[in-house]
Amino acid sequence: MPEDMSKPFKRLLNPTERVSEILFGLVMVLTMTCSFSIGGAGQTEVRQMLIGALGCNLAWGIIDAIMYLMACFSARGQGVVALRAVRNAAIPSQAYAIIADAMPPLLASVTSPAELEAVRQRLTQLPEPPERPQLTKDDWLAGLGVFLLVVLATLPVVLPFAFVKQAPARALRISNGIAIGMLFLAGYLFGRHAGHHPWRMAVAMVLVGSAMVGMTIVLGG
């Protein structure tokens, strides 16, 4: 199972994961830009806001990447435990239950005992799994992808403040417009890949993202 076990992780980040990380990055940076007071704001205040927004997403990008790697590590450990349980099952029916439990419910519901037996035999022929699960190169690359998505989601939203320095109010409007556009696009892509109506999901993502930002600001995030 060590070789086969890594296949679900070969695709570094699936579309839903990518959209989720972008949404997370957008929410974090919007808590900074939306709470920014443009009244009497000068270049010093704008610079401080930019540093705060970039620093916030940099920190959360690192945290999110670590959490992703921890999830991968846990999943690999569970795979090793499941493989050993299949091999050590006293009777085939116990192994079938373990294999079915590791499958998505829909797939497990249409898998016959003969197919489960074929899977069990293939699992028993695999090399001995490692004593301890290990993260692969793909896991580390995917973790880096998580970090970059959270951080890079910051840039389009904060760039107006860097280029429209003399008019903070205009910069804020441009920034909010870009953020709404990114939320809309993220929702559309999420809807396409999740099997939902893309346009409805795009509108819902804008509403949900705005609500999350509002909640974060109100609660002092």
Tens of pLDDT, residues 51-78: 777 888 888 889 889 998 998 888 888 8
Tell me the one-letter amino acid at 159.
L
- Reported as a single tens digit per residue, the pLDDT across 113-131 is 888 889 888 888 888 877 7
- Reported as a single tens digit per residue, the pLDDT across 20-54 is 788 778 877 877 777 665 555 566 666 777 777 78
Residues 154 and 53 sit within 8 Å (Cβ to Cβ): yes
Distance CA 38, CA 169 (A): 6
* Per-residue confidence (pLDDT) for residue 43, from 0 to 100: 64
Is 121 part of any domain? no
CA-atom Rg of the chain in angstroms: 23
Domain total of the chain? 1
Largest CA distance in the chain: 75
Cα 38 to Cα 30, 50, 161, 178, 180: the distances in Å are: 15, 13, 11, 18, 19
Quickly count helices (H) and strands (E) in the chain: 10, 0
Of the given ranges (24-28, 83-87, 181-185, 187-191), which has the lowest mean pLDDT? 24-28
* Per-residue confidence (pLDDT) for residue 208, from 0 to 100: 78
Q: Which of 76, 78, 54, 53 is nearest to 142 (CA)?
A: 76
Q: Note down the domain range covering 205.
A: 14-77+153-218
Q: Rounded to 5 degrees, what angle do the CA atoms 45, 49, 52 make?
A: 135
Going by pLDDT thresholds of 50, 70 and 90, the confidence category of residue 1 is: very low
Going by pLDDT thresholds of 50, 70 and 90, the confidence category of residue 13 is: confident
What 3-state class would DSSP assign to 180?
helix
Distance CA 108, CA 116 (A): 9
Is 122 part of any domain? no
Is 131 part of any domain? no
* Per-residue confidence (pLDDT) for residue 66, from 0 to 100: 92
**Region 148-164: what's the mean pLDDT?**
83
Distance CA 126, CA 141 (A): 26
Is 62 part of any domain? yes
Of the given ranges (165-174, 200-209, 211-220), which has the lowest mean pLDDT? 211-220
Here the tokens at position 220 are 């002092």
**Region 170-188: what's the mean pLDDT?**
83
Is 172 part of any domain? yes
